[in-house]
A and B are shown apart, each in its own frame.
Chain A
Amino acid sequence: MSVKLTTEQIEQIKRHGERTYPEECGGLLLGVIEGRARVIREVLPLENIREDSRHNRVELDPRDYLRAEREAAKRGLGVWGYYHSHPNHPAEPSGFDLEHAPFIEWSYLIVAVRDGRAEEVRAWRVREDRSQFDEEIMTVLSVITF
């Protein structure tokens, strides 16, 4: 599988990471499966509900997830992934990320934010036996509007 996003969506994820810096941010990725790709149609920034360690922990509200599923269903989309930021750390998944990754069917995007500026965004997926993350091919489509 690979994941497809637009430059605009990547920007949206980066801006979210910069807004919440030095704390982590997170959100969901809504889209569809086309062939062997998860095509993201919408980035949904959500609240970090952690009360402590917000500089290196993020947690989403399960109710937000429920709402996202309902909203996605209305528009013929599904929830196919999730993104979060790593303030002052590379865009590589941590052991904590692995332990808390819910689905092997999802794309996991991480944005590295260093000193308040978003750097790279990388995509990962969980190996079937949940032993580790593997980097996922990310295709970024430029949307040109005339």
Chain B
Amino acid sequence: MPTISIPTALRQYAGGQPAITVQANKIGEALTQLTAQFPDLQKHLFDANGKLRSFVNIYVNDEDIRHLQKEETAIKESDEISIVPSIAGGAPSATAEEARTQSDTLPELNKDELARYNRHLILPEVGMEGQRKLKAASILLIGAGGLGSPLGLYLAAAGVGRLGLVDFDVVDHSNLQRQILHGTKDVGRKKLDSAKDRLADINPHTQIDTYELALRSENALGIVKDYDIIIDGTDNFQTRYLANDASVLLGKPNVYGSIFRFEGQASVFYPKAGGPCYRCLYPEPPPPGLVPSCAEGGVLGILPGIIGVVQATEAIKLIIGEGEPLVGRLLLFDALKMKFRELKLRRNPECPLCGDNPTIKQLIDYDQFCGVAPQPAATEVSDWEITPSQLKQRLDNGERVTIIDVREPHEWQIANLENHGSRLIPLGQFANRVGELDPEEDIVVHCKMGGRSAKAYDVLKKAGFTRIKNLKGGILAWADQVDRTMAKY
């Protein structure tokens, strides 16, 4: 009968035996039998999804089953099946400055790479040494979305040795207008999977390390420390301050970019090189909800392309040590006017993070700092809110409910609740038009996702209205939970 030999380290979970005999015709069956007999082995060999862990290889005699028929590989009586770990390790990549002084330890370029990077190699500013520095460099991209797309594509193409991607999102139809890392076929896939495929195709010489998580105070330093340069491509203030603080605490450059509607900004925050940090520019976040996100306010699809490419350019300049970096300068771009402007930024000596007497010496609670409650469980409904299904129920019961839509007219055109008697009063006009509403009626306010209508709710409350509710999750939640035929945007 075939035997499975167990690595020394795992024998304690297999009754201490070095080998287990199984009765099976295929590898898959043999492994199922093994873990059925020794359930403790399960979590050491398989991940939570029941897939073999990445560092677990299965060999039949001296052949890796990946080169045979994988788990379908047939096995004979006399076969010896082995569980073999992948064993790898490595030092963190050198920082940009260290790389500059250690050109003898820079990695060599092989023949394929020499051909691939020809147009860089003939630029004196890049040349062989610059290209080898790019190969030795590592960049952490926070977010594989709008900014992360051009960043990932161009940095991989340029020959950056290692890219880290942090993201936990899934590709959605509404991403495709700007997130060119992902295609229509990728809708529903994890962004990390889709990005990894695309980047590996663009440049197989670039190592892509992925982190399926939200960057938080608990994990940020551990991840950031292994990279030379940090690039934040997210659009929430918690992550922006977190990325800034982690970079400053670890002395790494943070290449900043942000986008909204038709305008964008970029800079390089690098106090170690004498420049300011994000906190010197914005000591405190705006009150929650004041600055709408791209999901609320919209963004021209090409805008992250322009800003992301500016960020990628800055990252490459930092690595090769050429040109004038955007340290101490804030670049402002207006797509409608097609104008670039520049503001001088100075380090603030009073800055609590990078100033002369810093008071922030470790990461803080960024949800609290930005005044944002941690994401409540999706099922939690406060008493000032109503869920789409509760609203539907009340309408179906024939109750009289006045529905007020506080979005903009162009959003109304995409989808609305007109057939339930909804009226449009954009948030900007809301305070002046409260008089149109009757405090004796039950009123439900809604917007796209629930943020703007929460402000309308406050306006009504201050005006003395009591019979008001905010539609939880906005019209998007209505489309998901009540009317699946409704257009989403």
- A97 CA to B18 CA, complexed, in Å: 27
Q: Give chain A nearest CB distance to B151 CB in angstroms.
A: 20
B107 interface residue, CB < 8 Å from A?
A: yes
B 62-93 binary contact with A (CB < 8 Å = 1; else 0): 10100000000000000000101111111111
A35 interface residue, CB < 8 Å from B?
A: no
B 327-359 binary contact with A (CB < 8 Å = 1; else 0): 000000000000000000000000000000000
Q: Give chain B nearest CB distance to A12 CB in angstroms.
A: 18
A50 partner residues in chain B, CB cutoff 8 A: 88
Other-chain contact of A62, B5, B84, B90, B222 (Cβ < 8 Å):
B84
Q: Is the CB of B5 within 8 A of A56?
A: no
Contacts A80-B8, A102-B86: A62 and B59 contacting too (C-beta < 8 A)?
A: yes
Q: Is the CB of B55 within 8 A of A100?
A: yes
B169 partner residues in chain A, CB cutoff 8 A: none
Q: Give chain A nearest CB distance to B411 CB in angstroms.
A: 43
B105 interface residue, CB < 8 Å from A?
A: yes
Q: How many residues of B contact A (CB 8 A)?
A: 45
- A94 CA to B106 CA, complexed, in Å: 19
Q: Is the CB of B84 within 8 A of A88?
A: no
Kindly report which residue of chain B lies nearest to residue A112, judged by CB atoms: B91
B110 partner residues in chain A, CB cutoff 8 A: 52
Which B residues between 86 and 139 are near A, CB-CB below 8 angstroms? Answer: 86-94, 98, 102, 104-107, 110, 135-136
Query: Interface range on chain A: under 10, 10 to 19, 20 to 34, or 35 or more?
Result: 35 or more
Q: Is the CB of B223 within 8 A of A82?
A: no
Q: Give chain A nearest CB distance to B363 CB in angstroms.
A: 16
Q: Give chain A nearest CB distance to B203 CB in angstroms.
A: 12
Q: Is the CB of A53 within 8 A of B207?
A: yes
Which positions in A face B, CB cutoff 8 Å?
Answer: 22, 24, 26, 28, 50, 52-60, 62-63, 65-66, 69, 72-73, 78-80, 82, 84, 86-89, 93-97, 99-103, 105-106, 108, 110, 132
Which positions in B face A, CB cutoff 8 Å?
Answer: 5, 7-12, 18, 44, 55-57, 59, 62, 64, 82, 84-94, 98, 102, 104-107, 110, 135-136, 161-162, 205, 207, 209, 222-223, 225-226
